[in-house]
Amino acid sequence: MLSWAPSFAAETTHYEIVSNESARALMEISVVDALPLGNGILTVENEARAWARARVSEQDKGGGAARAALAMAALKIRLNA
């Protein structure tokens, strides 16, 4: 499972609540259901920073989250074999 979404900062701390609670919920799903999960939620101040963190040619955070989920899936298969 992979979750990817940008959360943009604003004048309030709402984006922090959104990103924290999203991460908490995803972790709970992962633990309760024993699902490999890659969390690609970005907390950024503007669209330019979101793209810089998302682009494959730059930080590729979504790709990193996907690779983490795939690595955990492979490990789960190996441990259950």
Q: Which residues pair with 38 in a beta bridge?
A: 2
1/6 Cα distance (integer angstroms): 17
Active site residue 59: no
76/1 Cα distance (integer angstroms): 13
* pTM of the shown model: 0.74
Provide the residue ranges of all domains of the chain, joining segments of one domain with +: 2-80
The one catalytic residue in 10, 13, 14, 77 is: 14
- Cα–Cα nearest to 6, from 37, 14, 15: 15
Q: Where are the alpha helices (DSSP H) in 1-81?
A: 14-33, 47-54, 61-80
26-54 pLDDT, tens digit per residue, is: 899 999 998 888 888 888 888 898 899 98
The gap from C-alpha 34 to its chain's centroid, in whole angstroms, comes to 17
